[in-house]
Amino acid sequence: MKLVLLLLIMSITVFAQIHVPENFQAEFVQTITNPKKKVITYSGKVYFSNKNRLKWEYLSPTKKEVCTDGAEVLVVDHDLEQVSNYLINKGFDLAEILKKAAPYKDKKSVFIAKYEDKEYTIQVDAKGQLARVAYYDDLDNTVLIVFKHMKYGKGDLPLDHIRCDYPRDYDLIEG
């Protein structure tokens, strides 16, 4: 009886985690609301691969790419024709955030994760795939990211999907 109870508890614990895909691609809408309730909405595509490679391709209202390998961030602002390169002292490790996610109360699709002194609320869809992420950023803005047309995959994405490319004549800023 104890063995059956232990196996039941273990299976609930394993089931109650978010599956971290090897890669995914999706469209996104990111809404940022500042403490004065001013809202700005961005949209674009996101690519995730190899546990720490992430590319945000912003298409509206401005064209921008943000790429990271977990150690540095490259921001390409096509409107300003500018590239900024920064080393990360506190990385945004999406895979680690998803691993730390625990179910919120008795809800099967809502999870809470604490990472680097921030709390993330994560929602998955009926397939268990990432659907939404919400958190407060370092400026006390509310950030909500909604994913659409999510596609999970196996293996690494090709580098051309997750690399930030830019013309050589863009201004380069080292941070």
CA atoms within 13 A on the CB side of 30: 20
Q: What is the pLDDT of residues 9-21, one digit of tens each?
A: 333 333 346 877 8
> Exposure pattern of 158-169 as b/e (b: 16+ CB <10 Å)?
eeebbebeeeee
Q: Domain tally for the chain? A: 1
Give Cα 5 to chain centroid, integer Å.
Answer: 36
Angle at 135 between CA 138 and CA 95, to 5 degrees: 100
Q: Which pLDDT belongs to residue 1?
A: 31
- Kindly report the CATH number assigned to the domain that includes residue 102: 2.50.20.10
Its domain, for residue 119, covers 2-174
CA torsion sign, 25 to 70 to 68 to 114?
A: positive
Each residue's pLDDT expressed in tens, for the chain with a length of 175 residues: 332 222 233 333 333 468 778 999 999 999 999 999 999 999 999 999 987 899 999 999 999 999 998 888 999 999 999 999 998 766 567 788 888 899 998 888 999 999 888 999 999 999 889 999 999 998 999 999 999 999 999 999 998 889 999 999 999 998 7
State residue 8's pLDDT score: 30
**Using omega within 30 degrees of 0 as the cis cutoff, is the peptide bond preceding 61 cis?**
yes
Write down the pLDDT at residue 175. 76
Please state the pTM of the whole predicted model: 0.83
Residues 110 and 123 sit within 8 Å (Cβ to Cβ): yes
